[in-house]
Structure 1
């Protein structure tokens, strides 16, 4: 997903002219399939009366461009105060005779009950995202409110006035009755997701200081970047979808309009008035209903949209918050990054707003931008559903739970916790010290950077620690584990596992099962555990111990310490001066290059005369049990030269030399030697 986010900084610079005449320009919004009229200058002039004490108390300010993507929405005007009054006048007498254009004289009517309720709900949205608050004025004070809402036959659709000191500033007018371009009174019943509801959000945006995103204005010719100029990112643009040609108004389906302020609307408002971090500032839980489209906040329903559509942006002021999609059976794509979104039917159109002309909204639930990198506005956690979900975290410490299905979870930055759930999952921790839990199924876990904790759980898992000092517990079944860089601790647990430490000093524990373990570079500690294991220290000065079972142990390069443990083991020193001990069982010890120390331990052991340059020392040769294998060297008894000194005997083969401590030549008989095959 492409990211719309840019740093949103303090305002700088000013527009050229903000006289009362410019400030009083009204915005008549079509977008209805009929007339689309851009904002025009016929709503007032420089001679319009300034607002007096009986007509509102809020003053206005000039604001400048921010240098970011929100500039296409800034009218250049804002209210100076943070508390605004609003009202629903029930009489045209609430407006003065000098009111510009006199819309109150053209079939005036008060807002209906549903219209008023929707305005209150939408003002709550504005209140929730920015530093503004709204107080309703009633009775005698209704006429003096900063923002007044009424019906009139003057607007073809609806219009609003920017913030200003004139009487008209902040007022909203909506067409009364059935417009010429419609068959019904389209504004009588605004409901979440329909055109009327969207119109109310849009006009209130103008009244608070937002302009059209698709076109310039008198004080600001900047438009939204084409990539973000659509209803998916702003309710203030006429473009239903990206690159909408603006022919014939909005093309959305009946219930396919934005249900809230969208990403750039919120960012522009927060730039003008500051962000409201008190909104849902605790650990908030957002749940969405697959059957109705209703959003629930901490279990409380927010009202059902008119149809089963979800098309909204979420702003959250703080805490550790969660998107919960556990009720969904569709394949999800959820990105918690600021400016990204949750697609609740990846590859399909369920609950997706149809924007017209073959275009659907790219997502369902959009995330607000993180103003100034504050971080409090982030959504930290996500819970997937029963489908094959894709979930991306953000820079916070995320908890991502895939639940059922073949999920792909990507933690990103931060110390994240990723939970695969059942089925075959892919988990990537990203940056930070992450915890990855595969759960059931054959999972693919990658820690990436940081000191990660990776738990495969049940199933045949493929686990890579990546950079950093990782803890890896493979879990049940036959797993493949690679520690990567860093000082890793790796435990295979049950199953026939393949474990490789990678770079630096690692600790590897095979557990039960027939494991194949390689320490990698660095001075490693390798323990096989139960059953028949294959163990290699590889590079570095390693300690390798087979424990139980018939183990095959190879020290690899450098000076290693090798222990067979219980069982009949095969131990090879490899390069370097190694110390090896067969321990219990009938073991086979091979010194390799350089001079190694071989200790058979209990049992009937076999010591191999190898081909290395050094002299290997057998410290505990027992003539009653042990044997010497000449097959690697290739020597026969006739080739073998035996010398004796105070410390024991030395066997010189064709290529190698083996010293037996505490043994005399008389202790050795032909039966002690395993000879090469002849022929």
Structure 2
């Protein structure tokens, strides 16, 4: 607390106290409190109500400071002005570790007997001087007027948020806390012209980047300290991590003008434009401006990119409007919701390729463009014709309704086309196309050029898919030359692995596992290939009729000539092209070696209980 004869406690930290010239351009070199750079401070403020110098004629500098101010008919602020001062002080203190307390303003009426005054470090009043408004830095000239704010009596009676009078309170109080105009070279650091504008600092005299230093005259002004103001004040006093440290949602009235910087101390937070009456562009990366609300005239153009997240603050999630939005995440693992409209969403903007974050995106209705980044992302296209790209990581991509294009990218991805004629491109890694939600049987054939899936869901094109999961109905799933995993789930399914070492799982129902001549003639099967049926059980069957039935023999009987069922077993004789069961394995001697070797093809029948039989009438193997 100060007196009318002495300054409050302050510390000199400058000039140029940091290694950042942009911050230095805003810091005048003094701050409140006894601690050094970055230390917290307790600051008092008061509103003078009496402008009498003293009964014995004390000099004016003992009351307010600047020569002539008290003689120019000082006047107390109105209740509305005091409310604006309290509110704007709070907007400064909530971003930094400043404890601002209001005290009574008691001047010295008996100065002959010693100083009995008690006033705030910061004092605010009106003057008849013609200047618009002015203020003094902490401890300026080591005089009692350090921290004083003076406003003329004509321009600031109606300090409404977003308009000039309210902005002036923010600006002048910024001076009293230790900030200067960024174009002033008191310490030889001036702000770069690329960021010297009101949207970057409320201490600037430029409406827009490239403007002359001629004062500001926008039709709507910043409602908070802006991007570099927050950074500079936190350099002086430290960041206030207790402010909004819970799970917060930031939203604005429909169509409102938005001109502010968000400082958030922690939690899982959301930017929401769900109620907005036009499209938005939301950026969760700190320091990147978002477009939301109605445009503002900045004396040069109508602009909407006046919302920004402060450096070192993190907002995790974003929700778009009902229109065509652009939504960009950060590296925090985001949930991005596009809502209705044709939206474009990307999980991480400006992110280092080595940073992994797990994002979740919801496209909603409309044709959406969605892109993940590094990390394991989950993206739901929703209604409309969507374009969804997973990028790196093990992603889950769901097209929803509409004719969607899903690109998994690198990583092991899960692709769900949904209703419509979709294109599913797995990309690198081991990728799965699933039809688990289909309402009717599907026919998926990876061996066709480009791959194809048909059924009630639509007609899909499949590329770079190694695993297919069927529906709850009687599906037909066919692999390609790669090592596929085919899973039928429920229903009486037909699974055909093709060439390659495949894993086949029928799931519930009586399933048929089929092999073709092409599969047997492929090198990896002929020379030590292994297919696995992971859940072979009673009711399931193996079908080699399209491949080698006329060549295979069981205990000396050629299968094509069999007229009755033949049981396989461990003790059968081994002869040319023998078909032999050994435990849960079915071996086929393709190299005519008259013995089972590592070069022979076999099918692992996990779950097999009992002896396989060759059913001569059905041309099938079953238990």
Fold match (TM-score > 0.5): yes
Matched, 1:224 2:168: no
Any idea what the Cα deviations from partners look like across 1:533-579, whole Å, max 9, x if unmatched?
A: 573333347669799799795724x4557899989999545477569
Contact 1:323/1:382 (<8 A) preserved:
yes
**Counterpart Cα distance in 2 of 1:283 and 1:517:** 42
Closer/same/farther in 2, CA of residues 511 and 280 from structure 1, 3 Å limit = farther
CA shift, 1:310, in A, is 1.7
Write out aligned runs for 1:545-584 (5 A).
555-556=498-499, 558-560=500-502, 572=516, 574=518
Q: 1:321 aligns with which of 269, 272, 291?
A: 269
Write out aligned runs for 1:194-209 (5 A).
194-209=163-178
Write out aligned runs for 1:12-411 (5 A).
55-63=6-14, 64-68=16-20, 69-81=22-34, 82-93=41-52, 96-98=59-61, 99-140=65-106, 144-164=119-139, 165-176=142-153, 185-217=154-186, 220-247=187-214, 249-253=215-219, 256-291=220-255, 293=256, 309-344=257-292, 351-357=294-300, 359-370=301-312, 377-411=313-347
Closer/same/farther in 2, CA of residues 561 and 518 from structure 1, 3 Å limit = farther
Report the RMSD for the aligned CA atoms in angstroms.
4.2
Larger CA deviation: 264-273 vs 130-139? 130-139
Contact 1:92/1:108 (<8 A) preserved:
yes
Any idea what the Cα deviations from partners look like across 1:124-161, whole Å, max 9, x if unmatched?
A: 10111111121112152685211111111235111111
Contact 1:333/1:343 (<8 A) preserved:
yes
**Counterpart Cα distance in 1 of 2:185 and 2:27:** 10
**Counterpart Cα distance in 2 of 1:313 and 1:332:** 17
CA shift, 1:85, in A, is 1.0
CA shift, 1:202, in A, is 0.8
SS in 1 for 2:134: strand
SS in 1 for 2:94: helix
Equivalent pairs, count: 522
Any idea what the Cα deviations from partners look like across 1:84-125, whole Å, max 9, x if unmatched?
A: 111110122369523332311112111112111100110010
SS in 1 for 2:100: strand
**Counterpart Cα distance in 2 of 1:606 and 1:149:** 96
Unaligned segments of structure 2, at least 5 residues? 35-40, 108-116, 349-355, 532-539, 564-573, 579-589, 595-623
Normalising to structure 1: TM-score of the pair? 0.67
CA shift, 1:416, in A, is 1.6
Corresponding residue number in structure 2 for 1:424: 367
Larger CA deviation: 542-551 vs 315-324? 542-551
Contact 1:537/1:544 (<8 A) preserved:
no
CA shift, 1:617, in A, is 4.5
Contact 1:576/1:593 (<8 A) preserved:
yes
Contact 1:153/1:175 (<8 A) preserved:
yes
Larger CA deviation: 232-241 vs 145-154? 145-154
Closer/same/farther in 2, CA of residues 516 and 534 from structure 1, 3 Å limit = farther
SS in 1 for 2:298: strand
SS in 1 for 2:25: helix
Unaligned segments of structure 1, at least 5 residues? 1-50, 177-184, 294-308, 346-350, 371-376, 502-507, 580-590, 626-644, 650-656, 662-679
Any idea what the Cα deviations from partners look like across 1:363-398, whole Å, max 9, x if unmatched?
A: 14221111xxxxxx2111111110011111112122
Any idea what the Cα deviations from partners look like across 1:599-651, whole Å, max 9, x if unmatched?
A: xx9799864699xxxx97487744589xxxxxxxxxxxxxxxxxxx97589xx
Corresponding residue number in structure 2 for 1:640: none
Closer/same/farther in 2, CA of residues 136 and 59 from structure 1, 3 Å limit = same
CA shift, 1:336, in A, is 0.9
Contact 1:402/1:409 (<8 A) preserved:
yes
**Counterpart Cα distance in 2 of 1:498 and 1:567:** 16
Closer/same/farther in 2, CA of residues 551 and 163 from structure 1, 3 Å limit = same
SS in 2 for 1:121: helix
SS in 1 for 2:45: strand
Contact 1:516/1:534 (<8 A) preserved:
no
Larger CA deviation: 404-413 vs 467-476? 467-476
Corresponding residue number in structure 1 for 2:438: 494
**Counterpart Cα distance in 2 of 1:532 and 1:423:** 31
Contact 2:245/2:266 (<8 A) preserved:
yes
CA shift, 1:458, in A, is 2.7
Contact 1:510/1:517 (<8 A) preserved:
no
CA shift, 1:477, in A, is 3.3
Closer/same/farther in 2, CA of residues 542 and 410 from structure 1, 3 Å limit = closer
**Counterpart Cα distance in 2 of 1:157 and 1:424:** 52
**Counterpart Cα distance in 2 of 1:204 and 1:192:** 15
SS in 2 for 1:93: coil
CA shift, 1:266, in A, is 0.7
**Counterpart Cα distance in 1 of 2:163 and 2:469:** 66
CA shift, 1:402, in A, is 0.9
Normalising to structure 2: TM-score of the pair? 0.73
